[in-house]
Amino acid sequence: MAQTALNFFEWGPFFEEKKIGGIFAPLFQTMAKLGDTELGDFPLLLAPMEDVSDPPFRFLCKEQGCDMMYTEFISVEGLIRDAQKSLQKLDIYEHERPIGVQIFGAELDSMMRAAEIVEEAKPEVLDINYGCPVKKVVCKMAGAGILRDIDKMVKLTDAVVKSTSLPVTVKTRLGWDNDSIFIEEVAERLQDVGIQAISIHGRTRKQMYKGEADWAHIARVVENPRIHIPVFGNGDIDSPQKAVEYKNRYGVDGLMIGRASIGNPWIFRDIKHYVETGELLPSPGIKDKIAVVKRHIDHSVSWKGEKLGVLEMRRHYGQYFRGLPEIKTWRSRLVQAPVAEELHQILSEMERAYSHIDELQLVK
């Protein structure tokens, strides 16, 4: 269950002053702060991802320099009914801080009660998910479903803000579909009821994950002089070059990265290094990759138990070893191995088999 927090940081004013304009934003950007904790000039956030951003994966992303992380989304109905799966997602560890717990729901009373439960787990932030496009969430008017009823979204958010002393943030999409992109209005109204940061995925619910994320709408929120909370941009950041290009072009206060981190927690290190020096780091070699995969397995087993820990690692191998020649046979051995010890043996064999491959040949 949730670890006792040693520190509690107040979210506080995230930036001393709001930057001016999109293109020139880097010149004016000020230090990102989380209470007394400085997140740096340009924080990189690990996106909340169901079945991915659990403590074992978060450990690796933190190691690679991720500035702020979120739990997988947690159903408020599950939380208030003590559902084991929901409660387990409240597990947070000191090394992960600062961390946000993300909830989703549609009922006012449940959201308020869940906010109290989350507070007991002592994260730095409570984040509300208004972006999940999945049918079974949307049809209950939760996640992105609420993008069809902005008044209700504002009401729910207001209630959550009032139910907790934690800083509340929101993650959402541009709108329900192309005809209902109200993100500028949404950001203002949510700020008015007290949220302290907003993360915007530049797609509509209708797009799901198709097409390209449209960051022009995100930039409009950033440039709105009424908006003084941090705006984090999200959608399709998959390389250091793109990260810097979008940072400069759209003026966001930080980047939230999801899919590109799966099988590649090094992306945080790579982007940081590129932002600071303009140089690209070489891809991790096979030895480094395998060492990280082994650690991922060990963390997974120690947090979930041997059976589930081994089982749930299966979804990661494809991404970790993407681009390796003749990977199919190895992958099928990895997904059939029943215990961690056997996985370690296979991975050691892989390391020897691929030792001739130049690290630059590996696709990240």
Ligand X SMILES: Cc1cc2nc3c(=O)[nH]c(=O)nc-3n(C[C@H](O)[C@H](O)[C@H](O)COP(=O)(O)O)c2cc1C
Binders of ligand X among 254-293, rule CB under 6 A?
Answer: 257-260
Please, which residue, 48 or 230, has the CB nearer to ligand X? 48
Which region, judged by CB under 6 A, interacts with ligand X, from 84-92, 251-259, 284-292, 345-353?
251-259
124 binds ligand X (CB under 6 A): no
Q: How far is the CB of 259 from ligand X (least distance, A)?
A: 3
- Angle at which helix 215-223 crosses helix 183-192, to 10 degrees, equals 40
For tokens 């946000």, name the residue: 100
Tokens representing 261? 């981190």
Rg (CA), the chain: 20
What's the number of CA atoms in the CB half-sphere (13 Å) around residue 96? Answer: 27
- Output the CA angle 242-247-248, nearest 5 degrees: 105
Please, which residue, 107 or 238, has the CB nearer to ligand X? 238
- Angle at which helix 328-336 crosses helix 306-320, to 10 degrees, equals 170
76 binds ligand X (CB under 6 A): no
86 binds ligand X (CB under 6 A): no
* Other residues' Cβ atoms within 10 Å of the Cβ of residue 216: 11
Please, which residue, 29 or 129, has the CB nearer to ligand X? 129
Please, which residue, 140 or 259, has the CB nearer to ligand X? 259
Contact 47, 250 (CB under 8 A): no
| Phi, psi angles (nearest 5°) of residue 212 | -100, 145
Q: Which of 127, 115, 114, 47 is nearest to 83 (CA)?
A: 114
Per-residue contact string for residues 193-232; x = within reach of ligand X by CB under 6 A: --------x-------------------------------
Please, which residue, 60 or 286, has the CB nearer to ligand X? 60
Q: List helix spans (H) across 133-285.
A: 135-138, 150-163, 183-192, 215-223, 240-250, 267-277
Please, which residue, 25 or 132, has the CB nearer to ligand X? 132
Q: How far is the CB of 326 from ligand X (least distance, A)?
A: 27
Q: How far is the CB of 202 from ligand X (least distance, A)?
A: 8
First to last CA, the chain: 34
Q: How far is the CB of 316 from ligand X (least distance, A)?
A: 11
49 binds ligand X (CB under 6 A): yes
186 binds ligand X (CB under 6 A): no
**Exactly one of 22, 43, 48, 98 binds ligand X (CB under 6 A); which one?**
48
Residue 132 falls in the annotated catalytic set? yes
> Looking at 61, 66, 132, 139, which residue is catalytic?
132
DSSP character string of 26-43: HHH---EEETTEEEESS-
- Angle at which helix 240-250 crosses helix 215-223, to 10 degrees, equals 40
Residue closest to ligand X, measured at CB? 258
Q: How many residues line the site for ligand X (CB under 6 A)?
A: 21
Q: How far is the CB of 65 from ligand X (least distance, A)?
A: 16
Spell out a b/e string for 26-55, using b for 16 or more CB atoms within 10 Å of the CB, else e: eeebeebbbbebebbebbbbbbbbeebbbb
Which region, judged by CB under 6 A, interacts with ligand X, from 83-91, 224-232, 252-260, 286-294?
252-260
129 binds ligand X (CB under 6 A): yes
Residues that bind ligand X (CB under 6 A): 47-50, 52, 72-73, 102, 129, 131-132, 171, 201, 234-237, 257-260
Catalytic residues, by residue number, are 132
